[in-house]
Chain A
Amino acid sequence: EPEVTQTPSHQVTQMGQEVILRCVPISNHLYFYWYRQILGQKVEFLVSFYNNEISEKSEIFDDQFSVERPDGSNFTLKIRSTKLEDSAMYFCASSEGGGYTFGSGTRLTVV
């Protein structure tokens, strides 16, 4: 069964550093998403991406965040100047327009 692949599975970074979280969506999917889940809290929408541009972003997704699709397969989330409260699981998801397939997530720990 096709999978959404995320790397790394766990990233530890120092406060103030930049991180790039990587995702390889399912190849024929057109819609891409990033969500995050702070430990013990609900899954929160960050951003959706379609046709090589952001289609919607939440209030969480401020200037600290950016997304890119640098080539035909990867989809990245960049977090600049990380803060302690950015520590969370970050899930990438893709869809053809219906239900999502989530990646296994990247656990980001900011120390």
Chain B
Amino acid sequence: GQNIDQPTEMTATEGAIVQINCTYQTSGFNGLFWYQQHAGEAPTFLSYNVLDGLEEKGRFSSFLSRSKGYSYLLLKELQMKDSASYLCAVRVHFSGTYKYIFGTGTRLKVLA
């Protein structure tokens, strides 16, 4: 089956660094994506990895190890506006098409 695990909630302080982990067991792996979702809004794309290693994009970085089925999203210099849910999603490829399988999301609270 397809399974994605991430912590339900995390809390961090403004200005700090936080790492959100994601582990997955899927078939047809074709990339791992991170999305940010504020309550009542659509997910917005943050970062993705297809190959192993670290991808850096401003304050956000994402890491992937395909052999371990593991990824993390690193958020630096946290701001209050970073309080949101962070969704780990694996893109899988079947018969010429793609779909995303989402984790349940990690709700991040940034405290002053």
Contact = CB atoms under 8 A, between A and B. Distances in A.
Interface of A: 31, 33, 35, 41-45, 48, 50, 55-56, 89, 91, 95, 97, 99-105, 107
A104 B100 CA distance: 17
Interface in B65-105: 87, 89, 94-105
A55 B97 contact: yes
Main secondary structure of the interface of A (DSSP, over half): strand
Given A31-B98, A45-B101, A100 B45 contact: yes
Interface stretch (B10-18, B19-27, B36-44, B55-63): B36-44
Contact of B33 (A91, A99, A107): A99
B45 A99 contact: yes
Contacts, number: 52
A105 B40 CA distance: 9
Interface of B, secondary structure class, is: strand
Given A42-B105, A55-B96, A56-B97, 16 more contacts: A31-B98, A33-B99, A35-B100, A41-B104, A43-B89, A43-B102, A44-B102, A50-B96, A50-B97, A56-B95, A89-B40, A91-B42, A99-B33, A99-B45, A102-B42, A104-B42
